[in-house]
A = this chain, B = another copy of it.
C-alpha cells in the first residue's frame, strides 16, 4: 500500500487559539451570541468576550449555542472594549465595507494570517460591532487593523454569527497551514484505510486487456486503433484507478469476450 508522509501543521490551532479573543460589542440579539459561540467552537476557538451585551445570559443564547454552551459559561462580560482588550497585543476590527482611511484595511484572510503570527506569542482580538451599525469610531480607535469580508456591494449585511464564522474559519485554515488534518489536496486521505492504488503494471495490463476487448467487439479498427483508444486510456488514467477497481473492470472485459450463451445469469 502506498504511504504518504504525514505533513505536520505549522502551528497547533489549540495553542494559538488560547490567545485569540472574539469580542462582540453591544450585541442586540442574544441569539446571535449563542450562534457566534457555536461558530467559534466549530473552528476550535473558545475565548468569547462581550462588551455591554443588551441581554445576557439569555435562554435564546443558550439554545442557539447548542453544543457550545461551555463557551457561554466562560464568557467574560465587560463594560468597555478597552477592558475586553486587556493584555492584548493587537486588535482587529471587522467591517463589511472599506471605511476608515486612518486604518490599514486588509481582507479577512490577510488579517487572520497576521493575527495567528502574533497570537503564537501574545493575545490578540477580533472585534465585532453591533448588528445594525457595526463598530463606532471610539471602538475603531482601539483597533490597529481593519479587516473586511469581501461582501456583495449590493447587499453586504452579513449576520453577526456568520461574520464570526468566516473569521474563525480563516484563523483555522491559516493555523493548519492549508493542510487539513488527515487530508491534503491529493485524492484520498493520508491516514488509515486509504484504498490501494493500482500500480503502473496493473494499469498497463488493464489497458492491454481493454484494447484487446475493444478490437474483439469491433469497436476499434485494427488498422487505426490509436486515437480512440488513447482517449479512453486518458479517461481511466485521470480516475487514478484502485487495485480493486482494476479487478472489477477486467472482470467486465473478460465477460464481454465470453460468447453470450455461456453467460452466467
Give the interface of A toward B (CB within 8 A).
Answer: 35, 38-39, 41-44, 66-68, 98, 101, 104-107, 109-110, 148-159, 161-162, 165-166, 169, 172-173, 176, 178, 180-183, 185, 187-189, 193-195, 214-215, 217-219, 221-222, 228, 231-232, 235-236, 238-242, 244-245, 248-249, 251-252, 255-256, 258-260, 263-265
Contact = CB atoms under 8 A, between A and B. Distances in A.
B150 A176 contact: yes
A121 to B, nearest CB: 18
Contact of A219 (B158, B166, B173, B255): B255
Given A39-B162, A150-B172, A256-B256, 8 more contacts: A41-B155, A42-B152, A101-B193, A104-B188, A105-B183, A215-B265, A259-B260, A260-B260
Nearest to A146: B183
Q: Kindly report how many copies of this chain are found in the complex they form together.
A: 2
Nearest first, the 7 A-B pairs at minimum CB distance are A218-B263, A239-B239, A44-B152, A218-B264, A162-B165, A104-B187, A217-B255
Contacts of A256: 217, 256
Contacts of A42: 151-152, 155-158, 162
Contacts of A238: 187, 239-240
Contact of A157 (B35, B66, B155, B244): B66
A214 B252 contact: yes
Given A66-B157, A157-B42, A260-B259, A218 B265 contact: yes
Contacts of A218: 255, 258, 263-265
